[in-house]
Structure 1
Amino acid sequence: MSHPDLNLLVVLDVLLAEGSVAGAARRLRLSPSAMSRALARLRETTGDPLLVRAGRGLVPSPRALELREQVHCIVQDAVAALRPATAPDLARLERTFTLRTSDGFVETFGPELIRRVGVEAPGVRLRFMPKLDKDSTLLRDGTVDLETGVVSSTMGPEVRTQALLRDRFVGVVRAGHPLGEGEVTPARYAQGKHVLVARRALAQGPVEEALATAGLQRDVAAVVGGFSAALALARASNLIASVPERHTAGLRTGMLCFPLPVPVPVPEITVSLLWHPRLDADAAHRWLRGCVRDACAEPAALLAHRPPALPEQAS
C-alpha cells in the first residue's frame, strides 16, 4: 500500500482556509498552475472534490468541512514538533534525572545543586548513582542522564563533554595525626603509611612519578577503589590519603589537609560533565547542565566545607 504525500496536508490546510486556488498559491508562494495540480492530487488521494465551483468562486464539499479543523490541528502540531525547543516551564516540570557521580561529588556539590533545582523546578527529582567505572554504556542506553568524571580514552567517542572544574591533589590525615606537627617534608610524607586510590592494584600514578624524581616511594598499606573509602580509612587510622582538593571537600570535614610535598608538582585533573548527544538539545536537560555548572562554580558551597590546614602548610 502506497503512503500518501504528507506535504499535501499543508496544501490542503491553506486551500481550505483561503477557499481559493489563487489565494492559496500566493500564500504558499506557488504558481496558480502548481496549486491546481496539487488540488488535483488531493482530490485523487481523498476521493473527494474538496472544493467545488459555485459561480465565480469555490465552496468546500461536506468532506472538506469535516477535514478542515482536523487537518489544521495536524499541521499546527507538526509545526510545533519541528520547532526548536524553547525554555521549559520549570515551575510545572516533573521529571527524574539520573546522575552518575562519585560520593565526593555528591557530598561537596550535591547540596547546592539540590537547592538550586528545588527553587527553580520543585517537581524535578535528582537520582544519584555511584560511579564504579568509566564505561559509557549507561549514557548510551539512557539509564543515566548526566555523568561527572575525568575523561578517559575508554569513553565512547560520541559522548559530549564539558569541563566543570580543575582540581589539585592534596594530602589528608586525621586530626591529631603525627604529620600535624612540624614541617611535612617529602621524606616524612613518603615514609608514612598510605592508602592508595586505584582501580588496578598498586597502579603507578602521578604521585609515585613525582616522588620517584627524588628517589622516594610511598609505603602503601591499603588500596581502595575510590576517594570516599580512602578518606574513611584515613579518618579512622594513621593512614595518609592523597585526594583531589575541591572534589572531596565535603568528605574531608574535620580532617587536616596539606599540599603534596613532592619535588615535581602533580598535574591537576579536569573534572568534566558528560552526556549523550541525543539529549544535547533537550531543553530541560540543558537547564540541568547549567545548574550543575553553577553548583560546581559556587564559592560558598566550597568554603563551607574547607577543612583546616596543617601548620605552615596552607591549603
Structure 2
Amino acid sequence: MDLNLLVALDALLAEGSVAGAARRMNLSAPAMSRTLARIRDAVGDPVLVRAGRRLVPTPRAIELRDRVRAVVEDAQALLRPEGATDPSTLERTFTIRASDYAAGVFSAGLAAAAARQAPGVTLRFTDQGREDVKDLREGRIDLDIGVLGSETGPEIRVQTLLQDRFVGVVREGHPLLRGAMTAERFAAAPHISASRRGRSRGLIDDALERQGLSRRVTLVMPSFYAALFTAASSDIVAALPLAVVARAAALGLAVRSFELPVTVPTVTVVQSWHPRFDKDAGHRWLRQLIKATIGETAERR
C-alpha cells in the first residue's frame, strides 16, 4: 500500500484539477496524471471525470473526500511535534487565503522574514474566493487574513493584526490637490470603486449622503491595485487603505494621498484559523511571524 496516494488524492479532490494538485505537491502535471491513474486503479473508480473543460468528482470521490482529508490530517498530526520546534528545520507549505490588499502589502515582508527564520517553508497565497469558513474547517487553508466582519463560525480563532483607514488617492498634479479639500470638491470629481463584488456604492457614499452630497462612480475595478494604477494615470479619484498607498509611495508610484473630507469607519485586519492548529508548533510559529511582520510594516507607514 502506497500511502502517498492518499495525500495525492486529497490534493486532487481539494483542487479539482491535475494542474492544481501538481502545484500543491510540487510535482509536474505529467507526474500527477500518472499518480491519478494509480489512484483510479487502487480505488476502482475514475475519481475525477471531465465535464466540458474541467474535472468533476464522481459520487465515489465525493463520498471519500472528507474521510481522505481526515486520514491525511491525522497522519500529519502524528508526524508533527506539538512542542517547541526549531523553525530553521521546518519543511512545510502553508496555504494562506488573503485579499489582494493583504497579499500585496505584506507578502514581501513575510517572505523575507520566513526565509531568514525557516528557509524550508513555502508560503502559498490563495484568493479569497467564497470568503466562508468551510476551507478552514476542512483544512484546505491554514490561515485566513482579511477584514473583520465576515462570518467565521463559533469555533474559529481570530487575532487582530492591525487597524487601517481609507484615504483619497490621485495622480501627481491632480486639480483636487490645489486648494482646500472639501466634501463638495471631492464629490464633484469622477471616482473609482474598488470592489471584488462589482459594487459601485459603499461607506463613502453613505457618508456623503449624510451631508446631502453624492459622487459619480465612473469605474468599478476588481481590486485596490487596479484602482491605484488607474488613479495614477488619470484624473479619476480612488479611496484606498493607507497601507496600500504607503506601499505604492515606497515603490515610487507618482500618486498623492489626502485625508478624506468625510468620516468613514476604520477597517480591522485579522488572521483566522481552526482550533485544530492551536498546539501545532509550526502553525504557532507562522501566526507569530505574521503578527510581528504585519505590525512592523504598519509602524513604518
Shorter-chain TM-score bucket reads 0.5 to 0.7
Identity of aligned residues (%): 44
Aligned partner letter, 2:234: S
One of 275, 278, 281 as aligned partner of 2:279:
281
Partner SS for 1:228 = helix
The residue that corresponds to 1:257 in the other structure is 257
1:280-299 equivalence runs, <5 A: 280-299=278-297
2 CA distance for matches of 1:201 and 1:246? 22
Figure out how many residues of one structure are paired with residues of the other and give that number. Answer: 222
Aligned partner letter, 1:283: A
One of 177, 180, 193 as aligned partner of 2:177:
180
- Max Rg structure: 1
One of 65, 88, 92 as aligned partner of 1:91:
88
1:130-169 equivalence runs, <5 A: 130-169=127-166
Partner SS for 2:160 = strand
2 CA distance for matches of 1:144 and 1:254? 36
One of 224, 249, 254 as aligned partner of 2:221:
224
Alpha-carbon contact 2:191-2:219 (below 8 Å) kept: yes
1 CA distance for matches of 2:297 and 2:227? 25
The residue that corresponds to 1:269 in the other structure is 267
1 CA distance for matches of 2:245 and 2:128? 15
Aligned-pair CA distance for 1:203: 5.3
Q: Deviations over 1:218-269 (max 9, x none)?
A: 110011232122212212221111111125532454311011011xx21111
Q: 1 or 2, which has the higher helix percentage?
A: 2
Partner SS for 1:157 = coil
- Structure 1 length as normaliser, TM-score? 0.64
RMSD over aligned CA atoms reads: 2.5
2 CA distance for matches of 1:100 and 1:287? 17
Alpha-carbon contact 2:169-2:245 (below 8 Å) kept: no
* Structure 2: unaligned runs, 5 residues or longer: 1-77
Partner SS for 1:298 = helix
Aligned-pair CA distance for 1:110: 1.7
Aligned partner letter, 1:288: L
Alpha-carbon contact 1:146-1:275 (below 8 Å) kept: yes
- Structure 1 runs (4+) deviating above 6 angstroms are none
Confirm whether residue 243 of structure 1 aligns to residue 240 of structure 2: yes
Compared with structure 1, are the counterparts of its residues 149 and 299 closer, same or farther at alpha carbon in structure 2 (3 Å cutoff)? Answer: closer
1:68-87 equivalence runs, <5 A: 85-87=82-84
Aligned-pair CA distance for 1:138: 2.1
Deviating more after overlay: 188-197 vs 144-153: 144-153
2 CA distance for matches of 1:280 and 1:256? 42
Deviating more after overlay: 213-222 vs 150-159: 150-159
* Structure 1: unaligned runs, 5 residues or longer: 1-80, 304-315
